[in-house]
Amino acid sequence: MSNVVDFDEALKVVRGQAGSLHKLETDGAPLLECLNRVLAEPVVADRDQPPFERSTRDGFAVRAEDASGPRRLIGQIRAGERWTSAPLQRGQAIEIMTGAPMPQGADAVVMVEHVELRDGSILLLQGRMVRTGENIVRRGSEARAGDVVLAEGTVIGGAEIALAAACGRSGLSVFRRPRVAIVATGDELVELDETPDEQQIRNSNSYGLAALVAKAGGDAVRLPIARDRSDDLEKLILEARSCDLLLLSGGVSMGKYDLVEEVLHEMEAEFFFTGVKMQPGKPVVFGTLPASGGFPAQFFFGLPGNPVSTQVTFHCFVEPLLRAMGGAEVSPPRFAQATLGEDVAGKPGLTRVLPARLTCDWARPEVRVVVWQGSGDLAANARANCYAVLPPDVERFRAGDVITVLLR
């Protein structure tokens, strides 16, 4: 039975199913191999961060209560050094470098550009003052020993790796990457090592999906091309049952040889939706295959065969589910807002998700739709760096309108 839903409803359906997932097994991995994986246990600070009062500027450690008169220089502290002489007294100053620990007795740092050096002393420039705590980070102000600094479910990027390293972690416990079976369908497809006839095309979807799966934290399992025969398609779907998720591309439209829904029905699949009111990507299918043959129930997506449609629907629907399968917090696709740089036509009844380029000007990010020849235009999709998301039933969007963009 057909179940074509609005774009917003499809996002809610996927998010709801993602919230029902059981987390996968965990394993340990060296720190640098954890990039883009999901943390399976919290990381705690092994000591106060910072572990000492730290100067945030190159300058001079002083006592703020001193009058604005000269302060005699009595030494220097570099990053990695510790002041071991007597505590700082009134009328004294110690040259200090960014990141160095504060000497005992000092409670502020005067920036080097705010003083005048004169005969072995420093003198504040006219109009300058110094306050207690100025240019200092207090011990433990970032984290106390034992504090959770990275929660379970955190997707690990460069910032998280740096923080884990600062806590002395050379490896982390992470969730297993979901295994994602990829089956491209169609008699017109040939593999990359074959020479296509004039009427044939290369199997680009399989490779594009594998790259997107890897970026979203999964392990791609590329299976052979499924020809437009029910028995061949069923055989490959059964071969994919050992994976956590199945992605099929092509075969989900209304043509005589679009067999994906038919075969999945025969395998007793449950369909959450069989189309989404969007362009491109309207024929996208989402559901589950029941537990069978010793394998648990398995989520599947039937993605449209045109490559831009394939990638758009992956970013909108597959990626949020896949990240949640890998242990990450359930979240929607990564949307942002930008100013439209040109007029763009809307589409009655359909949410348009169009390849676009986002210019990240700090004052006013601007997005422009890429000139394209439809959902088969791989070159246009490669020129884009995001997608402009245009809600339905607006006849025309004007330059200067603030619209939603889908980041990728």
Span 82-106, pLDDT tens digits: 999 999 999 999 999 999 999 999 9
Query: Whole-angstrom Cα distance, residue 199 to residue 338?
Result: 40
Instruction: Tell me the mean pLDDT in the region 44-68.
Output: 94
pLDDT of 20 strictly over 80: yes
For the record, the structure tokens of 4 come out as: 């074509």
Buried b or exposed e, range 258-293, using 16+ CB within 10 angstroms = bbbbebbeebebebbbbbbbbbbbbbbbbbbbeeee
pLDDT of residue 23: 82
Rounded to a whole number of angstroms, the distance between the first and last alpha carbons of the chain is 32
Query: Whole-angstrom Cα distance, residue 283 to residue 303?
Result: 7
DSSP β-bridge partners for residue 245: 180, 299
User: What's the whole-model pTM score?
Assistant: 0.90
Q: Is 47 left (phi over 0), alpha (psi -120 to 50) or beta?
A: beta
Preceding amide of 280 cis, omega within 30: yes
| Residue 323 backbone dihedrals phi, psi, to 5 degrees | -65, -40
Q: Is 101 helix (H, G, I), strand (E, B) or coil?
A: strand
Query: Whole-angstrom Cα distance, residue 332 to residue 12?
Result: 9
For the record, the structure tokens of 42 come out as: 């919290």
pLDDT of 144 strictly over 70: yes
Instruction: Tell me the mean pLDDT in the region 277-300.
Output: 96
Q: Are 253 and 304 in contact (CB under 8 A)?
A: yes
- Full DSSP string of 194-207: S---TT-EE-HHHH
Q: Is 33 helix (H, G, I), strand (E, B) or coil?
A: helix
CATH fit for domain 335-407, picks 1.10.10.10, 2.90.10.10, 2.40.340.10, 3.90.1570.10: 2.40.340.10
pLDDT of 197 strictly over 80: yes
Protein fold of 4-25+176-325: Molybdenum Cofactor Biosythetic Enzyme; Chain A (3.40.980)
Angle value at C-alpha 203, between 3 and 321, nearest 5 degrees:
40
- Please state, rounded to an integer, the average pLDDT across all residues of the chain: 95
Please tell me the least confidently modeled range out of 246-255, 384-393, 398-407. 246-255
Query: Whole-angstrom Cα distance, residue 176 to residue 166?
Result: 24
Query: Whole-angstrom Cα distance, residue 201 to residue 183?
Result: 16
Nearest to 182 by CA among 237, 146, 230, 222: 222
DSSP β-bridge partners for residue 30: 171
| Residue 172 backbone dihedrals phi, psi, to 5 degrees | -140, 155
| Residue 123 backbone dihedrals phi, psi, to 5 degrees | -135, 125
For the record, the structure tokens of 222 come out as: 């590329």
Q: Are 234 and 266 in contact (CB under 8 A)?
A: yes
Q: Is 225 helix (H, G, I), strand (E, B) or coil?
A: coil
For the record, the structure tokens of 251 come out as: 């075969």
In CATH, the architecture of 54-137 is Beta Complex (2.170)
Cα four-point dihedral sign 146, 148, 149, 150: positive
- Full DSSP string of 37-91: -BBSS-EE-SS-BSSS-EE-SSEEEE-TTS-SS-EEEEEEE-TT----SSPP-TT
Q: How confident is the model at residue 308 (pLDDT cuts 50, 70, 90)?
A: very high
pLDDT of residue 256: 63
Amino acid at 157: G
Q: Report helix, strand and coil shares of the chain as percent, to nearest 5.
A: 20, 35, 45
pLDDT of residue 182: 98
For the record, the structure tokens of 371 come out as: 């000139």
Q: How confident is the model at residue 357 (pLDDT cuts 50, 70, 90)?
A: very high
pLDDT of 201 strictly over 80: yes
- The distance of Cα 60 from the centroid of its chain, to the nearest Å, equals 41
Query: Whole-angstrom Cα distance, residue 402 to residue 360?
Result: 14
Instruction: Tell me the mean pLDDT in the region 394-401.
Output: 96
pLDDT of residue 69: 84
Burial class (CB in 10 A: 0-12, 13-18, 19+), 45: buried
Instruction: Tell me the mean pLDDT in the region 206-212.
Output: 98
Q: How confident is the model at residue 177 (pLDDT cuts 50, 70, 90)?
A: very high
Burial class (CB in 10 A: 0-12, 13-18, 19+), 86: exposed
Angle value at C-alpha 325, between 319 and 328, nearest 5 degrees:
80
Instruction: Tell me the mean pLDDT in the region 2-27.
Output: 95
Q: Is 312 helix (H, G, I), strand (E, B) or coil?
A: helix
Instruction: Tell me the mean pLDDT in the region 116-137.
Output: 94
Q: What is the DSSP letter of 318?
A: I
**Domain extents for the chain?**
4-25+176-325, 43-48+142-175, 54-137, 335-407
pLDDT digits (tens, 9 = 90+) for 236-285: 999 999 999 999 999 887 666 579 999 999 999 999 999 999 999 999 99
